[in-house]
């Protein structure tokens, strides 16, 4: 078995305190092997985004430990977390989070200029099928195209792991399928571990591994023996 890229033990996260406290994670133990596509499924508020944020270095756990390879994330300073995000982590969000004042190519360059071993921005855009739209500003792109720019921006640094929080949440089904195809292609060609948070259960069919969440803990982990290609997924 390959070394896990992520490992957690007894991870909890509580927001607020006193009677208003909300327990988002209630002791999560998890191992994510390198190079897989992992889908985190579950209803809203089940804790899957919280887990993603902690693993992505955007948030800190209340207790328990989370390792990225040999590094315990909880021990990192803010500066070290920034370095971790800069060099290892790519993010894709539901609302794309592109800079409106930069073109598609410049949005990608935003990352290539600070990453240690980036690919060319043009190559990243080719991989998401937007090689010809590099000079367009976000306002000139459709939602699906904007999300693909966001993916290009996320992969341009050759991240170890790609976090996608509801990447198809704001898209129609055919556009969503295109985005998922890009994500599986990246995983296949670059070996990037991809973590996808979604509540669209159908997405699970393309994953190596599916983790089901409910009420802040893991209910079930299953490995997909027969993965479907995104084109085969029923929405």
Partner 1 sequence: MVSALDRKLGRDLWRIKGQAAAIALVIAAGVMSLVTMTGLVSTLEETRAAYYDRYRLAEVFVPAARAPGTVADRLGDIPGVAVVETRVTGLGTLDLPDLTRPLPARFLSLPPSGQPALNAVVLTGGRMPDPAAESEALLLDGFAKARGIAPGDRLSVTLAGVKRQVRIVGRAMAPEFVFSTAPGEMVPDDGRFAVLWMGRAPLAATLDLDGAFNEALLTLARDADPRDVIRAVDRLMDPWGGQGAYGLADLPSNRFVTEEITGLRGSAVMVPPVFLAVAVFLLYVVIARMVQAEREQIGLLKAFGYTSAEVSAHYAKLVIVIAVLGALVGIALGAVFGRSMAGLYQQYYKFPFLVFRLEPATFALGIGVAVAAALAAAALVLRRLFALTPAVAMRPPAPADYSGLAGRAARLMAWLDQPARMVLRRVLRQPGRMAASVAGIAAGMALAGGMLTVMDGFTRAVVLNFEVIDRSDMAVSFTRPVSGQALYELAHLPGVLAVEPQRSAPVRFEAGRASYRGAVTGLDRGAVLNRAVGTGMETLDPPEGGILLSRPLARILNAAPGDTVTLTLLDGDRRTLRVPVAGVADTLMGAPAFMEIEALNRALGTPGQVNGALLRVDPLSADNVQAALKDRPGVAGVSVKAEARAAFQTMLDSGAGATRYSMMILAAVIAFGIVYSTARIALSERSRDLASLRVLGFTGGETAFVLLGELALVVLVALPLGALGGALLASAIAAGFSTDIYQIPATPSPASLGFAALAVVMPALVSGVLVRIDLARLDLVSALKTRE
| Least Å from the CB of residue 111 to partner 1 | 6
106 binds partner 1 (CB under 8 A): yes
Name which position in 62, 87, 175, 184 contacts partner 1 (CB under 8 A): 87
99 binds partner 1 (CB under 8 A): yes
| DSSP code per residue over 136-152 | --GGGS-HHHHHHHHHH
Q: Do 26 and 66 contact (CB within 8 A), yes or no?
A: no
CA distance 207 to 225: 10
74 binds partner 1 (CB under 8 A): no
Tokens matching residue 10: 């007894």
Nearer Cβ to partner 1, position 163 or 208?
Answer: 163
138 binds partner 1 (CB under 8 A): yes
Name which position in 21, 22, 114, 201 contacts partner 1 (CB under 8 A): 114
168 binds partner 1 (CB under 8 A): no
Nearer Cβ to partner 1, position 93 or 217?
Answer: 93
137 binds partner 1 (CB under 8 A): yes
95 binds partner 1 (CB under 8 A): yes
Q: For 204, which DSSP code? A: G
| Least Å from the CB of residue 99 to partner 1 | 6
Beta bridge partners of 202: none
Q: With contacts defined by CB under 8 A, how many residues of the chain interact with partner 1?
A: 39
Nearer Cβ to partner 1, position 120 or 223?
Answer: 120
CA distance 100 to 117: 25
Chain centre distance of CA 176: 15
8 binds partner 1 (CB under 8 A): no
Burial class (CB in 10 A: 0-12, 13-18, 19+), 98: buried
Instruction: Please state, as a whole number, how many other Cβ atoms lie within 10 Å of the Cβ of residue 172.
Output: 12
Task: Please name which of 144, 188, 141 lies closest in space to residue 162, comparing C-alpha atoms.
Answer: 188
Nearer Cβ to partner 1, position 60 or 212?
Answer: 60
At residue 205, the 3 state secondary structure works out as helix
Which residues of this chain interact with partner 1, rule CB under 8 A? 53, 56, 58-59, 78-79, 82-83, 85-87, 89, 91, 93, 95, 97-103, 106-107, 109-111, 113-115, 135-140, 146, 153, 157
């Amino acid at each position: 078995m390959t070394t896990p890229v992520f490992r957690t033990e007894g991870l909890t996260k509580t927001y607020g305190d006193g009677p208003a406290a909300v327990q988002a994670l209630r002791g999560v133990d998890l191992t994510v092997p390198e190079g897989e596509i992992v889908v985190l499924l579950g209803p809203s508020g089940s804790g899957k985004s919280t887990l993603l944020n902690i693993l992505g270095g955007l948030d800190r756990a209340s207790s328990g430990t989370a390792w990225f390879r040999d590094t315990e994330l909880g021990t990192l300073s803010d500066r070290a977390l920034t370095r971790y995000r800069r060099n290892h982590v790519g993010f894709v969000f539901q609302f794309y989070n592109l800079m409106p004042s930069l073109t598609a190519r410049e949005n990608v360059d935003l990352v290539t200029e600070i990453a240690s071993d980036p690919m060319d921005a043009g190559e990243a855009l080719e991989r998401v099928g937007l090689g010809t739209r590099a000079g367009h500003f976000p306002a000139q792109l459709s939602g699906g195209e904007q999300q693909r720019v966001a993916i290009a921006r996320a992969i341009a640094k050759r991240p170890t792991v790609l976090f996608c929080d509801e990447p198809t949440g704001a898209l129609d089904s055919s556009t969503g399928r295109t985005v998922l195809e890009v994500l599986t292609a990246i995983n296949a060609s670059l070996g990037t571990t991809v973590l996808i948070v979604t509540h669209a259960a159908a997405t699970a069919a393309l994953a190596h591994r599916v983790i089901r969440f409910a009420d802040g803990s893991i209910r079930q982990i299953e490995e997909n023996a027969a993965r479907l290609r995104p084109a085969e997924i029923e929405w």
